[in-house]
Amino acid sequence: MTRFVIAPQWQGSSSSRAMQLIDGAEAIAGDLPRAATTTLEAPPEAGDAQGTRVLRASALVRMRERIHDAVAAVHGEHAVTIGGDCGVALGAVSAVAGDDLAVLWIDAHADLNTPESSPSGAFHGMVLRAIIGDGIDPLRLSPGIPPSRVVLAGTRAVDAEEQRFIDEHGIRVIPAAGLSDPESLADAVVATGAARVHVHVDLDVLDPAEIAGVALPEPFGARAADVAAAIRRLRARVPLAGATITEFSPSTPAAAVDDLGTILRLVGALA
């Protein structure tokens, strides 16, 4: 049975709706099997940068440790970590990392900034770069997942430093429209040579017509049905080491209901 880890972290977000990520995580948790779900407590305080360029770094470090421990405790099955902001992926990936792991980043944004290049200082825009091994300790993976084993999918909002990094390292990128081919994700991950994959889904990868409860929507996104079908096909070809679903911040708890059917379709593909 798949295990679920609920991580209502908001401190990595740059959005004015950041604390609504707590409501989003709780809404998703309400539709998951209770016996298979572990809910983590996020630090109540915002945290501080501790002399770094990462906002709220102290709270993020504490959550990385909690998420890592919860995911590492899952044996004989995989964990789906439910955020919260994209920063929860650092702890989730660190718990399953190895030299045979690929990371598939299904997200409208590349999240490849460094603390120096980030326009906001928010960790959710740096977390994939931290998984690759760049950034500050202890908010980075060491050793990191090399760019040759990273695949971006549905990515369409990229900062200049992120694009430079993608181009320099030849990171594979599947456009949102390409997800209509169910073999697209599997082909890209198989091409990395990895034996396992962690799949990260930021809900803003979806077209705004598909989902309302995201704080940073981007036009021309993917269809939920296409993403779910591509993930299922990937799982038929490459073992799933773990997954994350993030950035659900409904405008109100009541409004969360409108998006839950779409989100649970993705949960089902990963579980």
Question: How many domains does the structure of the chain reveal?
Answer: 1
What whole-number distance in Å separates Cα of residue 112 and Cα of residue 162?
Answer: 5
Checking if the pLDDT of 253 tops 90, the result is: no
What whole-number distance in Å separates Cα of residue 248 and Cα of residue 123?
Answer: 16
What whole-number distance in Å separates Cα of residue 121 and Cα of residue 139?
Answer: 13
| Interval 185-231: pLDDT, tens | 999 999 999 999 999 999 999 999 999 999 999 999 999 999 999 99
Q: What percent of the chain has pLDDT over 70?
A: 100
User: C-alpha dihedral over 11, 202, 260, 8, to 10 degrees?
Assistant: -20
Domain that holds residue 194: 2-270
Q: Is the pLDDT higher at 1 or at 186?
A: 186
CA proximity to 176, closest of 243, 108, 244, 232: 108
Q: What is the CATH number of the domain that holds 249?
A: 3.40.800.10
What whole-number distance in Å separates Cα of residue 71 and Cα of residue 93?
Answer: 9
| Residue 196 β-bridge partners | 101
Per the confidence metrics, is the pTM higher than 0.95? yes
